[in-house]
Amino acid sequence: MNMKYFFAFAVVALLFSSCETEVELNAPYKSTTVVYGLLDPVQDTQWIKINRTFLGDGNNFDYALVRDSSEYDFSEFKRLVVEEYLDGNKTNEWALQEKEITNKSINGIFYGPLQTVYFFRPAALNQNAEYRLVIDFFDREDVEATTPLVQPNEITFVNLTSSQGLTISMATKTGENSFEFNTLERSFRPDDSAPFYEVVVRFNYTEKKYTDATHTTLVSETPKHVDYFCGSYTSEDSESGKIRYTVDGEAFFNLLGNTLTNDPSIVYQIGTYDPTFTPAPETQCFETIIYAGGSELYTYIQVNTPTSGVVQERPTYSNVSNGIGLFSSRSTAAIRDIPLINSNPQQVPNTGNALAFRFSQYTNMLNFCDPGNMASGILTTCE
């Protein structure tokens, strides 16, 4: 037989045999427990999310909209606890309670806005202990996960505390109504319990909505904040025991201008006024916050970070036995109540921040006011 005819015949035969083959898209159903929990020794309530995977013969997007497809009924748990271990010995135990909350987005593919979460309220978490999540089922494989804690008390800021009355000088006064933005170099001392960190500067304000631009009749006032991201860092970024980060004043005010609404009927009150603060009364509006993450959380983020290489497939990371997900720890170290203008009597007050709020190209169209009248002649005093 001519080889080209044989080849054509073989291809046709293969096509017909392929058309007759049925492909089973869904594998045999097996539900897997999915856990996500981050213990935080700074918080008084610890939250854990427990769900399950699902698979059906029909459209799985339809199943995702059914709450029972991804949630367990509490009666399925024989034992649901978090145990505390110190030097290998069990020292405490807390039963998890269920709670229905209503804040889940309805824009995703899964059921919302209701969802079930689980919580416990310890008097305190021992930063030297390990914690084990135990999920015992009546009729399915039991699930466990263990994590140590991040120790926020060991994370310290260098040369900065809220009691010093020092501000974050985003700008420096250069004239009566002029200023220049600053780029600040700051640092903190990390701790071995946390391999990675994120630093933010938070600006606290109150959004006051009035009926019109005359600001005569107040409709609502809502405390809010804007977080300026200073970067992510790991323990490998430490030099001489310190991790350095940068605060870019112009980038901060640019963020405010892009975040807040330019509306003549809205007044933005800067922070809150503390008339009893020592060494001097002050308008407090800034915070510096360090978010510290445990080793399991760090590994989870590394594995799930999008890759720009040729190989796009990433391995799945989980520290949950007989399930998938993450059980780790995080915590925060923060300096709060940082003033708008330096109130330390040993330093000359710098009104650069107030001038930037009033005159910068990013915020001069916004109505900022100072509740403590610390920036008299620059910002209006809040009513």
- For the chain, percent helix, then strand, then coil, each to nearest 5? 15, 40, 40
Between the alpha carbon of residue 20 and those of residues 23, 26, 55, 146, 357, the distances in Å are 10, 19, 26, 50, 72
Q: Which residue has the higher pLDDT, 15 or 113?
A: 113
What residues have CB less than 8 Å from 296, skipping those under 6 apart?
147, 319, 326, 327, 328, 329
Q: pLDDT-derived band of residue 270, with 50, 70 and 90 as boundaries?
A: very high
DSSP class per residue in 8-59: HHHHHHHHHHHHTPPP--SPPP---EEEEEEE-TT-SSEEEEEEE----SS-
Per-residue pLDDT for 100 more than 70? yes
Per-residue pLDDT for 216 more than 70? yes
pLDDT score recorded for residue 376: 80
Dig out the tokens for 319 from the structure. Answer: 């520290």
* Nearest to 144, CA basis, from 94, 82, 52, 195: 82
Q: Which helix (H) or strand (E) holds 298?
A: helix 295-304
The pLDDT tens digits for 132-166 are: 999 999 999 999 999 999 987 778 898 766 567 78
- Tokens 């000359």 correspond to 348
Between the alpha carbon of residue 243 and those of residues 14, 156, 262, the distances in Å are 63, 11, 37
The pLDDT tens digits for 76-97 are: 999 999 999 999 999 999 999 9
Q: pLDDT-derived band of residue 113, with 50, 70 and 90 as boundaries?
A: confident
Please, what are the domains in the chain?
33-149 (2.60.40), 153-294+330-381 (no CATH)
E-strand stretches of 96-216: 97-101, 115-120, 130-137, 143-148, 156-157, 171-175, 178-181, 183-189, 196-210
Q: pLDDT-derived band of residue 10, with 50, 70 and 90 as boundaries?
A: very low
The pLDDT tens digits for 239-268 are: 999 999 999 999 999 999 999 999 999 999
pLDDT score recorded for residue 360: 98
Q: pLDDT-derived band of residue 70, with 50, 70 and 90 as boundaries?
A: confident
pLDDT score recorded for residue 341: 93
The C-alpha atoms of residue 293 and residue 198 are separated, in whole angstroms, by: 9
Q: pLDDT-derived band of residue 53, with 50, 70 and 90 as boundaries?
A: confident
The C-alpha atoms of residue 264 and residue 256 are separated, in whole angstroms, by: 16
What residues have CB less than 8 Å from 183, skipping those under 6 apart?
246, 247, 248, 249
